[in-house]
Amino acid sequence: MLRAGERASHDPHRVRAGRLALLTAVALYTGFACSAPASAQQIIEHEYFTYDPLGEAPADSELPSLPRPGERSESDESDDDSPNGGGEFDEGENPITQTPEGPEYPDSMEEQASRNGPLSNAESVSLDRDTDREGVLQYVAVFNPTVAPWKRVGARDAVVQVGGEYHLVTADRTLTPRAASPGRRGGEELFLGKLTVNAAPGAWIPVPSVAPSMRLVHANTDPPARTDFSADSADNFFVQIDHEGQVELEFLVAAPTTWFGGDWPNGRARGITRAPDDLIRDAARVTAAAGVTPLDTDADVVRKLAVWFRGFEARPFPEDEATDNLYLDIALGRIGVCRHRSLTYVMTALAAGIPSRYVYNEAHAFVESWIAGYGWRRIDLGGAAEGLEIFASPDTQLHEAPPEQGLPPVPGYDESYSASPEDARRGDFSELSDRSSAAAPEPTQEAPPTGGQSFGELPEAGRAGAEDPRSGALSTRVVFDPLPDRAYRGAQIPVSGRVIGDGPVPVPDAEVTIVIGPADVGDASAWVDSVGTATTDNTGRFEATITLPGTISPGTWGIYAVFYGNDVFGASRSE
Q: Is 436 helix (H, G, I), strand (E, B) or coil?
A: helix
> Of 548, 532, 540, 546, whose CA–CA distance to 566 is shortest?
540
Tell me the per-residue pLDDT of 12-32, one tens digit each, with 9 for 90 and over: 333 222 222 223 334 343 333
Residues 199-211 have a mean pLDDT of: 96
Residues 555-568 have a mean pLDDT of: 83
Tell me the per-residue pLDDT of 225-246, one tens digit each, with 9 for 90 and over: 999 999 999 999 999 999 999 9
Residues 489-494 have a mean pLDDT of: 74
CA 185/CA 182 separation, integer angstroms? 9
pLDDT at 4: 29
HSE of 573, CA atoms in CB hemisphere, 13 A:
20
pLDDT at 89: 28
Extract the runs of DSSP E, i.e. beta strands, from 290-394. Answer: 356-360, 365-371, 375-379, 385-391
pLDDT at 253: 97
Tell me how long the chain is: 575
Residues 321-326 have a mean pLDDT of: 95
Tell me the per-residue pLDDT of 393-428, one tens digit each, with 9 for 90 and over: 888 999 998 988 888 889 889 889 999 999 899 988
Contacts of 522 (CB under 8 A, 6+ apart): none
Mean pLDDT taken over the chain: 80
pTM summary value: 0.64
Tell me the per-residue pLDDT of 440-480, one tens digit each, with 9 for 90 and over: 334 333 333 444 577 778 888 865 545 555 555 788 889 88
Is the C-alpha dihedral spanning 98, 101, 107, 110 positive or negative? positive
What single-letter DSSP state applies at residue 473? Answer: S
Determine if the peptide bond prior to 223 is cis (ω within 30°). yes
The region of weakest confidence among 41-50, 461-470, 484-493 is 41-50
Note whether 211 and 256 are within 8 A (CB). yes
**Encoded amino acid at 371, one letter:** I
> Of 13, 283, 43, 34, whose CA–CA distance to 167 is shortest?
13
CA 426/CA 148 separation, integer angstroms? 11
The region of weakest confidence among 48-57, 125-134, 211-220, 404-413 is 48-57
CA 155/CA 124 separation, integer angstroms? 10
Residues 309-336 have a mean pLDDT of: 96
Confidence of residue 144 (pLDDT cuts 50, 70, 90): very high
CA 131/CA 301 separation, integer angstroms? 25
pLDDT at 440: 37
Checking if the pLDDT of 503 tops 60, the result is yes
**Range ranked top by mean pLDDT from 53-67, 186-200, 437-451, 544-558:** 186-200
Note whether 358 and 125 are within 8 A (CB). yes
Checking if the pLDDT of 53 tops 60, the result is no
- From first CA to last CA, the distance across the chain in angstroms is 14
**Range ranked top by mean pLDDT from 236-250, 460-474, 505-519, 525-539:** 236-250
Which residue did the predictor score with more confidence, 444 or 121?
Answer: 121
Checking if the pLDDT of 439 tops 90, the result is no
CA 497/CA 505 separation, integer angstroms? 14
- Enumerate the CATH 2.60.40 domain ranges in the chain, comma separated: 26-32+444-573
Pairing state between β 356-360 and 365-371: antiparallel
Note whether 351 and 283 are within 8 A (CB). yes
Residues 166-174 have a mean pLDDT of: 96
What single-letter DSSP state applies at residue 352? Answer: T
Please check whether the domain covering 26-32+444-573 is classified as CATH 2.120.10. Answer: no
Which residue did the predictor score with more confidence, 440 or 504?
Answer: 504
Helix (H) / strand (E) element for 477: namely strand 477-480
Contacts of 466 (CB under 8 A, 6+ apart): 474, 475, 502
Give bridge partners of residue 26 from the DSSP assignment: 487
Please report, rounded to a whole number, the percentage of residues in the chain having pLDDT higher than 90. Answer: 52
Tell me the per-residue pLDDT of 171-198, one tens digit each, with 9 for 90 and over: 999 999 999 998 888 999 999 999 999 9
Checking if the pLDDT of 517 tops 50, the result is yes
HSE of 261, CA atoms in CB hemisphere, 13 A:
13
pLDDT at 530: 82
Please report, rounded to a whole number, the percentage of residues in the chain having pLDDT higher than 70. Answer: 76
CA 468/CA 459 separation, integer angstroms? 11
Note whether 69 and 219 are within 8 A (CB). yes
Confidence of residue 111 (pLDDT cuts 50, 70, 90): confident
Backbone torsions φ then ψ of 499, nearest 5 degrees: -115, 120
Alpha-carbon separation of residue 338 from 2, 360, 382 (angstroms): 32, 9, 6
pLDDT at 433: 62
Residues 268-287 have a mean pLDDT of: 95
pLDDT at 258: 94
Determine if the peptide bond prior to 504 is cis (ω within 30°). yes
pLDDT at 31: 39
Confidence of residue 78 (pLDDT cuts 50, 70, 90): very low
Contacts of 384 (CB under 8 A, 6+ apart): 133, 134, 312, 313, 314, 337, 338, 416
CA 465/CA 469 separation, integer angstroms? 12
What single-letter DSSP state applies at residue 32? Answer: E
